[in-house]
Structure 1
Amino acid sequence: MVLMPDLSASPRPVVTRKDVARLAGVSTAVVSYVVNGGPKNVSPATEEKVRQAIAALGYRPNIAARALKVGSSQILGMVVPKISSPFFAGLAKAVEQAAEERGFAMLLGDSRDSLAVESRHLRNFVDRQVDGVFLCSVVNHRPDVSELDGRGIKTVLLNFSEYPLPFDAIGPEFVGSSRQAVEHLAGHGHRDIALVQGLVTGNTLDGREQGWRDALEGLGLPEGRVIRCPFDRAGGYEAGRRFLALPQRPTAVFITSDEQAVGFLRAMHEAGVRVPEDVAVFSFDGSEEAEFTWPPLSTVRQPVQEMAEAAVRAIIGSGRDDPARIQVFPCELVLRRSCGCGTTHSG
């Protein structure tokens, strides 16, 4: 037998700010100061009385009403291409923490490397009237954010820093950092350096590939071979299998993400190819798992925390009409065994 709810029962009355104020013996303004953390200070004793009244009555502030009153939802949106990626998971965590410290909540959308899904997330954020959006787009050149812009929603592109744009963009120094990594491999005596390049959407050259090409040209080395694959472990593993089948295999490889490099290392291990003795490996991102592969990965570490802080400041700490700017953050080479360095250190 299915028990049906008693629809005749009276609904639970809505607890208001006035109810809290009456129980705590304070004004409604004081309740507002406690709930919103200002703008005026409240003595610790008074704040404790208000919080006890809130707990006793089960009061929940009407966030939607407050958003209409102050013109802010205090909610931000973020879209990443793949939340399962250690790099993007770490970046999303850093952005969320930076936003939370400023009193903002965050909605996260996973585009699953699909431009159509990315666009749906952006439309959803518009409908929810978020205050701003952090976009890690699957498009590597001028993603379409016209709908956000048309509704006055501040947009910051993350992990995107190579082109002049009409909106804020924050990212690592892809070209210069990648060039340094390849030059480091050449410093170990390598003259045939391949590239494992992640698939990108758009008709422009990925900054990591550009850095690899610049390094080879600058060093007077022959044009290297390129293996293109998805930005994930499975893609890196398949790239490793294709690398093993190359005639006159290169002695070193630059890989455009740590996640790909993990798959590549597995392919080398299965084939009995030693890293770095038979092939040296240098990757890009600086995710935590790079330290725990075997051998540990030499990698270009992105300053995730600094980029996250800058992204949140760009939305919360500036006016909507402030001129757009690009902030490019230098990266750090973290040298470990996979490139041929004997000890773990940074340089």
Structure 2
Amino acid sequence: MGRAGGCGGRRTPARQRVGRAHTRGELELRERTALAVVSVGVPTDNRLRFGLTPWEGAADGGGPPAHFIGQVELAERLGFHSFWLPESHFVAQSYPAPLLLLAAAAVRTRCLRLGTTSYLLPVRHPLHVAEEVGVLDQLSGGRVILGVGRGFRRTLFEAFDVPPSEKRDRFEAALEVILRAWRGEPVIGDPDGESASGRPPVRVTPPPQQQPHPPIWVAAFGPKALAQAGRLNLPYLASPLEPLAQLVENYALHREALPRDARDVALPVPVIRTLFVSHDQSCLERVRTALEEQAQALSQQATGVLRRAGDAALDEWALVGEPEELVDGIERYREAIGLTHLIARVQVPGATPDELTRSVHLLAELAGRL
């Protein structure tokens, strides 16, 4: 069976496991732009990096930790490149502490990349983030990819006493503090970015194992968030819900916002998509029907981007079919937007636990061909 973009044979030292090496000129260029962010390089072997998000795998509806470790270990055995966790609060089956779960995954795996799809910076103190991500990167041997976001649910901001109108400013201010801390600079700052007069500066230790820092990707919805990610010279992590045509527009907007002298340096193009594969036509039809019903319910409850996603045809935001159909669908994304990293959202309604697990095995087989 082909590998899914995992570590395969010899393990590369952690400080080198960040795609291709950057030339000195590229590093100097990135240090002159935005927040001096250095992003993971685009793979030079043209192979798609294939990651997974959790699936429940049991009919009892247990919470996320119940089956998480087994799923992570299976992902590594099957050769997937990465495993990803969202962050969510105050909803059923929440993931309120993704770094804790990824720390557990780090000690049970050897080469699987460990990522967050949207670690919410506006509701955290940036020094805590710098410390905790640094520890996780050390613990994992330099395998962290930090996907960051702002959050959008009003209940989230109210619970953490953060004015929603400040989320974008807090996000950028927090990111600046985190990056300065990882560069070893003395830092002073509050979560809202205000300098704390009278407090002594501090240096954060340990630093991340990946230098100058782990790859940082930005989960973004809407023109303002896309423009902010581009202006900061950060890769944009596309959502699982927006149709491909919308992603083409989004990546164009993101590219236009990049610093002018950084536009020739290729960034990763990661996308989260709902994927399900099977040879059983009755199973595929059942999953398609359940996903369409789920999308219709979302459309009735949501607004803006989420409503448009709910109104879109299923094959515009999900790939459900036999292996060859999924290969063709994934190639459409590579041709349209230059897809480099595919994060599979594999928990789908309408499928049994065994069918979900078989789908993951089939995804690993087809990933070796991409």
Normalised TM-score (structure 2):
0.27
Between the two structures, name the one with larger relative contact order (CA 8 Å, sep ≥ 6): 2
Larger relative strand fraction: 1
Point out the structure with max Rg over C-alpha.
1
